[in-house]
């Protein structure tokens, strides 16, 4: 799926977060949105996801040359999306399938999750790192053209960071991947860098 941002700008109340962003994300491209904390990285990612609308400008989504609604084609993992913590891993996997097709089976996801001891526990018993791993895994396992990630390794130890890179390498071929981060380790595979601070005025 191709994503085009044309003169996109966003403000909250009277403060402009960023202005005049023009960006074309072609199918299979990898892009990092960088900038200091509070610079608007997550806001731009939410606009790309369709969660927020721009204050000015336009964003369009095209598949094989035809405009499409993005929701079935995008998966996202961010700190501001909450998991249903009363569910088990299997329950939330099945719940997510009601909204999106998955290209990975539950058995494959369970093997990739690599925390066999929590298989039957509810998510509220997971550590922050395990919750982060689950969010990433659900986003990657969805059969979508676009993968959006916000600070994907924020709660990870060194082993978790390695797990993240293995997941990206194995399951994002020909997918458009956008990473919002100020940690180079999280976006070192990206072939395009957007510094959000350059669009402040």
Average pLDDT value over all residues in the chain:
92
Supply the pLDDT for residue 116: 67
pLDDT (tens digit per residue) in 48-104: 998 899 999 999 999 888 888 888 899 999 988 889 999 999 999 999 988 889 999
What is residue 65's predicted lDDT score, i.e. its pLDDT?
84
- At residue 66, the pLDDT reads 87
pLDDT at residue 128 is higher than 80: yes
**Mean pLDDT computed over 107-123:** 83
Dist CA 137 CA 180 (whole Å): 17
DSSP characters over 104-138: S-HHHHHHHH--GGGTTSBGGGS-HHHHHHHHHHH
Mean pLDDT of 174-192: 95
**Residue 154: Cβ within 10 Å count:** 14
């Amino acid at each position: 799926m191709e994503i085009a941002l044309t003169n996109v700008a966003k403000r909250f109340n009277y403060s402009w977060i960023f202005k005049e962003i023009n960006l074309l994300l072609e199918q299979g491209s990898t892009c990092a949105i960088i900038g200091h904390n509070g610079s608007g990285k997550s806001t731009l990612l939410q606009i790309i996801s369709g969660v927020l609308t721009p204050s000015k400008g336009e964003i369009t989504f095209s598949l094989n040359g035809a405009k499409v609604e993005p929701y079935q084609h995008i998966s996202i993992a961010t700190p501001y999306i909450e998991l249903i913590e009363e569910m088990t891993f299997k329950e939330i996997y099945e719940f997510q399938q009601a909204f999106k097709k998955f290209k990975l089976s539950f058995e494959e996801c369970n093997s990739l999750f690599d925390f066999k001891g929590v298989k039957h526990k509810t998510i509220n018993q997971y550590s922050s790192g395990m919750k982060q791993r689950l969010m990433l895994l659900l986003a990657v396992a969805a059969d979508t053209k676009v993968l959006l990630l916000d600070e994907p390794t924020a709660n990870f130890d060194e082993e978790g960071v390695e797990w993240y890179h293995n997941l990206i390498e194995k399951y994002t071929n020909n997918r458009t991947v956008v990473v919002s981060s100020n940690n180079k380790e999280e976006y070192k595979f990206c072939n395009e860098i957007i510094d959000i601070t350059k669009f402040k005025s």
